Structure 1
Amino acid sequence: MNSSRRTFLISSIGMASALAVSRTAFAEPVKLPESDPMAQSLGYKQDAATVDKAKFPRYAAGQDCGNCSFYQAKATEPYAACPMFAGKQVASKGWCNAYNKKA
């Protein structure tokens, strides 16, 4: 293989990788749907007011993702990442059974 062809192939691979990374970095974050299997297993609701208190007795009024220790943004942000649901964002006004009050 001659050197200009090799240089072209290496450059092409590098540019393709950079493009793939940039598309991922700027992609719109996925909001966690209540229909997601993990969301259902933890009783996630996008609106804490709709939590079935009989099914999830741990729920108490005033608990929501925005004041949970797992919420990875300010409570005023409408959506943020949560380690319980890798790669997806939860609603600040949401709730799940993994709720842990912020200190």
Structure 2
Amino acid sequence: MKTSRRHFLMLSVGVGSSLALSRAACAETANRLSEADPNARALAYVEDASKVDKAKFPSYAAGQTCANCSLFQGKATDAYGGCTLFGDKQVAARGWCSSYTNM
């Protein structure tokens, strides 16, 4: 089967755009804050606020999440967003840390 130049170019564009999308997805995942990160550990960051040790952090109240913290820089509907405490790292909207504030 002979491949035309037009078919080759269309295939190349499709493959190139797929690679760009997967690279962007990897970069987004790589930029997420890990609970093992030293700064995250210092502030007791957890990706799931339901896992906060309430005995260790009595200031935690049900419903407190990064999404409704005044330091969260994403939209309330975003799964991950920026936080002024963690630089360019993305925090989970459903997460929590000991610096939670809603002022």
TM-score (norm 2): 0.70
Find the counterpart in structure 2 of residue 38 from structure 1: 39
Identity score, percent: 52
1:34: Cα distance to partner?
A: 0.3
Q: What's the secondary structure of 1:84's corresponding residue?
A: coil
What is the match of residue 59 of structure 2?
A: 58
Letter in 2 for 1:100: T
For these two proteins, the number of residue pairs brought into alignment is: 77
Deviation at 1:73, TM superposition (A): 1.3
1:49 aligns to what SS in structure 2? helix
Q: Give runs of aligned pairs for residues 23-102 of structure 1, distance below 5 A.
A: 28-29=27-28, 30-101=31-102
TM-score (norm 1): 0.70
What secondary structure sits across from 1:31 in the alignment? coil
AA matched with 1:74: K
Paired letter, 2:44 = G
Q: Which ranges of structure 1 fall in alignment gaps of 5 or more residues? A: 1-25
How far apart, in 2, do the equivalents of 1:39 and 1:54 lie? 19
Q: Alignment RMSD, CA only?
A: 1.4
**Structure 1 residue 28: deviation in Å?**
2.0
Shift of 1:57: 1.3
Q: Distance in 1 between matches of 2:45 and 2:60?
A: 11
Shift of 1:55: 1.1
